[in-house]
Amino acid sequence: MTTIKDRVIDRLERKDAVIGIVGLGYVGLPLMLRYSDIGYRVLGIDIDPAKVKRLNAGSSYIEHIPGERVSRARDAGFEATADFTRVAEADAVILCVPTPLNKYREPDMSFVIDTVDALKGHLREGQVISLESTTYPGTTEEELLPRVEEGGLVVGRELFLVYSPEREDPGNPDFETRTIPKVVGGHTPACREVGVALYRPAIDRVVPLSSTKAAEMTKLLENIHRAVNIGLVNEMKVVADRMGIDIFEVVDAAATKPFGFTPYYPGPGLGGHCIPIDPFYLTWKAREYGLHTRFIELSGEINQGMPEYVVGKLMEGLNQQGRALKGSRVLVLGIAYKKNVDDMRESPSVQIMELVRDRGAEVAYSDPHVPAFPTMREHHFDLESVPLTPTALAEYDGVVLATDHDRFDYDMIRAHARLIVDTRGIYRGDDIDKVIKA
């Protein structure tokens, strides 16, 4: 006898299934494009009517995603909507919503919970629900499972619930949605089987795991690994600087070892939607089990202190020129959290700007990927990007190189800036007085 599970898998394999993606940002939008490219009809759901309008007009609001791709998807049947009742049309419902921290650095699950609450009354038999948002182990079972079963449908038999963490790396030309392996954990073996069928057509390699908890922990381990190693090298930077050693030279040298070492480079702090946030999801959940994740919390403390360290280096450089930070004019180069993208989530550059402003300096920024400072929940600047010219550079008392975009003319910056605080090792090996390594 054909089961509901068999019918769902068959629809997914024949590409008759409608793929619903909730949250059309840096994770959801590339996923939408991938499913559309391979022949699925995709329905996008987002609470932001401005995003919905732009997508339905065939344009993109993410710099590294061309509008032509969105337009092509629309012509192939993609539609965006802010109407959550339409989730009933989808055979697969993939949740790509934010999971930030609150002001106490504890998990803010409101976006996930509010989204599921908005959808749960419209779920139907034969759907697979996949959560991709990074979260603590147990979220899928504790928060999603009881909500999606409220209508009487049984997960594992009539509905299928999986956790499959996103692994997007915006702006990285070496990887795309298709080529990044996809971890999938199901609430039951049947859920896992359906989850694999959902992602297998779109992703080159699907990695099934025994449970949603294992998949949730996998994502946290990936990002904690990076956070801890970046914290280590940021601490090493401070020690090396005190000893008069260039940490970038040291990391480059260590990276020549062909085994047992992975190079991580220091910077002005952690940015993005994962690395500064995800470790604290585990530290919070671990407390429920009476555990204290000292190693993780220490790396977080070090990384969170980097913007202050950079501003201290700026003050040191200005003092050497007989100036105080208060009353100075400071230009921050790059306010995206990583090079060559327009993504500003959790950017340490913004924290540096706030610290400089709060100390009485006039702050400005230049970023070819962010023409105007966007509206943000916690950070407020009424600024536009300063065009980089020799004349403009010479007007500032100090320049903080915070994000090393390829589009910056570093020779021109070095020639015309009065003082450069280099947080990215661009001017490694330079001994000129006006370069302060931070």
- Report DSSP letters for 142-184, one per residue: IIIHHHHTTTSPPBTTTEEEEE------TT-TT--GGGS-EEE
* Adjacent-strand bridge partners of 95: 22, 131
Structure tokens at 377: 């929940």
Q: Any idea what DSSP says for residue 413?
A: H
Residue 107 in contact with residue 135, Cβ under 8 Å?
Answer: yes
298/293 Cα distance (integer angstroms): 9
The question of whether 191 is a catalytic residue gets the answer: no
Element (H or E) spanning 21, and its range?
A: strand 18-22
User: Could you tell me whether strands 182-186 and 159-163 are parallel, antiparallel, or unpaired per DSSP bridges?
Assistant: antiparallel
- Report DSSP letters for 312-372, one per residue: HHHHHHHHHTT--STT-EEEEE--SSSTT----TT-HHHHHHHHHHHTT-EEEEE-TT-SB
298/317 Cα distance (integer angstroms): 28
Q: For the sheet with 79-81, list strands across it.
A: 79-81, 41-45, 18-22, 92-95, 127-131, 159-163, 182-186, 206-209
How far CA 98 is from CA of 21, 49, 108, 284, 378, in Å, comes to: 13, 17, 9, 17, 15
Of 280, 313, 301, the closest CA to residue 235 belongs to 301
309/36 Cα distance (integer angstroms): 46
Structure tokens at 239: 């020690």
Name the catalytic one among 274, 275, 393, 421. 274
What does the buried/exposed string (b/e) look like for 171-199 if buried means 16 or more CB atoms within 10 Å of the residue's CB?
A: beeeeebeeeebbbbbbbebbbbbbbbbb
Q: Which residues are marked as active site?
A: 274
